[in-house]
A = this chain, B = another copy of it.
Amino acid sequence: MKEVANMDKYIFGVDLGGTSVKLGLFSAVGELVRKWQIPTRTEDKGSNILPDIAEEIRKAMGKAGIAVRQIEGIGIGVPGPVVNNTVYRCVNLGWDIVNIRDKMNQLLPEIPKIVAENDAKLATLGEVWKGAGKGYNVVVMLTLGTGIGGGIIVNNRIFTGAHGGSGEWGHMNVEGSETDICGCGNCGCLEQYASARGIVRYGKWMLKESYKTSKLREMECFNAKDICDLARNGEEMALDILEGSCTYLGKAMCAIAEVVDPEIFLIGGGMSRAGDILLEKIKEGYEKFAIPIIEDIPIKIAELSNDAGIFGCTKIVLD
């Protein structure tokens, strides 16, 4: 029996974020054996990040008694545009251009397969593999986190586009009259209204424009969750903010649908924890702009939450 166990194959999924690295040890059939996380050390231009991950993987192998020959590969998700395992301008990590596969191959030369891809694309792949996107051929997921990203999966494969730019709808222009400048340098990007950070910025502007009472006015600072919680409790001002934000999201989703016409939309990322109230308002926003051919596309909340990334990292190694 021990001999058989030693023959089992494993994969590591590594979802690399700006504050923490999520790691998952998976069996080769895609069962999650163990998951944990470590902090992302962004100091010194992020030079410790990949060595930290390599060490963590070695430790995990030792702990679980897994030999090198039992590892099929490592999938790594990074918060930036990736082409051929190279990430470009990964500001959150302090990185410029990094070929992740090459660096990891130097650190772990005995691992046969190392694959890197954009984190939001991998989260979408994870949802199609084991979550809310199972069984669909054309899936679009929007990840509403600090920023907005996402992915397109066609026939169980990530659609990357020509330069890894596919899914970068966080910077889609949705408001022609905006004067605040987005991180990208443009004005009126979707992220400025509908990301966890954007809805707070937009909420502050709405509060100035309105005379309605709101608990938000009494808070020294508030976050996306505060807005969603108050909206769920029926506070009119919070509902106005959420509806406005979701109208922009609906506009962008209709634009996406008029380009790729998915079978289903998934909403993921931290904001998606707001659940039903968010989903309801997104659907209302979508209906405002939808033409008949795309109006019936279902919209669902993603299911795997924070684990979507490590599942996608594993799937891409298996592909």
Residues of A within 8 A of B (CB): 81, 88-89, 137-138, 152, 154, 159-169, 171-173, 175-177, 184, 186, 251-252, 254-263, 289, 291-294, 297
**Interchain residue pairs with CB less than 8 A apart (23):** A81-B293, A88-B293, A89-B292, A137-B162, A138-B162, A152-B260, A154-B159, A160-B261, A161-B261, A164-B293, A165-B257, A165-B293, A165-B294, A166-B261, A168-B293, A172-B258, A173-B251, A173-B255, A176-B177, A177-B177, A252-B255, A255-B255, A260-B260
- Interface pair A297/B258, CB less than 8 Å apart: no
- Interface pair B259/A291, CB less than 8 Å apart: no
Among the listed B137, B161, B297, which residue makes an inter-chain contact with A138, where contact means beta carbons less than 8 Å apart? B161
- Interface pair B175/A176, CB less than 8 Å apart: yes
Question: Contacts of A252 on B, CB cut-off 8 Å?
Answer: 255
- Interface pair A297/B162, CB less than 8 Å apart: yes
- Interface pair B289/A173, CB less than 8 Å apart: yes
Question: Contacts of A263 on B, CB cut-off 8 Å?
Answer: 162
Task: Provide the main secondary structure of the chain A interface.
Answer: loop
A88 to B173, CA, bound (A): 30
CB closest chain-B residue, reference A251: B173
Question: Contacts of A159 on B, CB cut-off 8 Å?
Answer: 154, 260
A237 to B177, CA, bound (A): 23
A252 to B251, CA, bound (A): 12
- Shortest Cβ distance from residue A299 to the other chain B in the assembled complex, whole angstroms: 14
Closest 7 CB pairs of A and B: A161-B261, A165-B261, A162-B263, A165-B293, A166-B261, A259-B259, A168-B258
Among the listed B154, B163, B175, B256, which residue makes an inter-chain contact with A261, where contact means beta carbons less than 8 Å apart? B163
CB closest chain-B residue, reference A263: B162
Question: Contacts of A293 on B, CB cut-off 8 Å?
Answer: 81, 88, 163-165, 168
- Interface pair B258/A291, CB less than 8 Å apart: no
A163 to B166, CA, bound (A): 20
Which has the most chain B C-beta neighbours within 10 Å: A159, A161, A297? Answer: A161
Question: Contacts of A138 on B, CB cut-off 8 Å?
Answer: 161-162
- Shortest Cβ distance from residue A233 to the other chain B in the assembled complex, whole angstroms: 29
Given contacts A161-B138, A172-B254, contact A166 B259 (CB under 8 A): yes
- Shortest Cβ distance from residue A157 to the other chain B in the assembled complex, whole angstroms: 11
Given contacts A184-B291, A293-B163, contact A169 B260 (CB under 8 A): no
Question: Contacts of A89 on B, CB cut-off 8 Å?
Answer: 292
Question: Contacts of A176 on B, CB cut-off 8 Å?
Answer: 175-177
Question: Contacts of A251 on B, CB cut-off 8 Å?
Answer: 173
- Interface pair A256/B254, CB less than 8 Å apart: no
A293 to B118, CA, bound (A): 13
Given contacts A162-B262, A184-B291, A261-B163, contact A255 B172 (CB under 8 A): yes
Among the listed B171, B175, B259, which residue makes an inter-chain contact with A169, where contact means beta carbons less than 8 Å apart? B259
